[in-house]
Each structure stands twice: as structure tokens, then as C-alpha cells.
Amino acid sequence: MSSRRATTTLWRPTGPEELELVRASHWRAWPPRLPEQPLFYPVLNEDYAIRIARDWNVKHSGAGFVTRFEADSDFLRRYPVRQAGGRTILELWVPADELDDFNAHIVGGIQLVHTFR
């Protein structure tokens, strides 16, 4: 019998400042949200994450990054999938005050998978 938990792959488009904070956590956790950021929103597909990193983060920060990570599927069920635009523009909306709990359910580390400048 395997004791391995089922996981879900998530992506997060991010800018340079947030990426440095993730790096400082040894690639294990997302940093606390700023006061004007009530939600943390990982996305459910790589293409959507790439579009945000390439088309928005580069324009606003000079660089955009896409990260990928696994999270415990049972835990993620508490966050309904939100459609933020077209059929493939899917996000989870994690309230800022639940981010520590969310981070505790990341399985493995956060990986940097794309860089745009």
C-alpha cells in the first residue's frame, strides 16, 4: 500500500520581488500577501501562467517568471476553481489569511520553469 498523497500541479506567474521571497524560503513557501492583495491565486494551467508572466509581469516589472508546484489535492478541494476569463483561465482563490496553511500543503518544492525578460 502506498502512503503517497494525491497531488495537483499548480502554476504561479510571478514578478522578480515575489520570486526573491520564494527563493529566500528555500523554494518551500509563498510570501505573505501585501495589504492590497486579499487573495493568493495559483493557476491551473501552464499556458495561462505563461501569458501572465510574459505579457503582464515583464511589462510591469521588467521580468516575469512561471513557477510550478504540487499541492495536496484533498486540501485544495476547499478552494473552488474560478474561471477568470475564457474556459482555460482557471485559478484558485486562496484568502491571504490562509496562505500559511496553504504553504504547509505544498508537496516538494516550488520550481522555476520559465523566465521572460
Query: Global pTM?
Result: 0.93
Q: Supply the pLDDT for residue 5.
A: 83
Q: Supply the pLDDT for residue 4.
A: 76
Query: Do 44 and 92 form a contact (C-beta atoms < 8 A)?
Result: yes
Q: Supply the pLDDT for residue 85.
A: 82
7-116 architecture in CATH?
Answer: Alpha-Beta Barrel (3.20)
Tell me how far apart the alpha carbons of residues 87 and 78 are, in angstroms, rounded to a whole number: 21
Domain ranges of the chain: 7-116
Tell me how far apart the alpha carbons of residues 5 and 15 are, in angstroms, rounded to a whole number: 30
Q: Supply the pLDDT for residue 76.
A: 98
Q: Supply the pLDDT for residue 87.
A: 85
Instruction: Note down pLDDT in tens along the chain; length 117 residues.
Output: 456 789 999 999 999 999 999 999 999 999 999 999 999 999 999 999 999 999 999 999 999 999 999 999 999 999 999 998 888 899 999 999 999 999 999 999 999 999 999
23-30 CB contacts, 8 Å cutoff, 24+ apart: 26/109, 27/109, 27/110, 27/111, 28/103, 28/106, 28/109, 28/110, 29/103, 29/106, 29/110, 30/99, 30/102, 30/103, 30/110
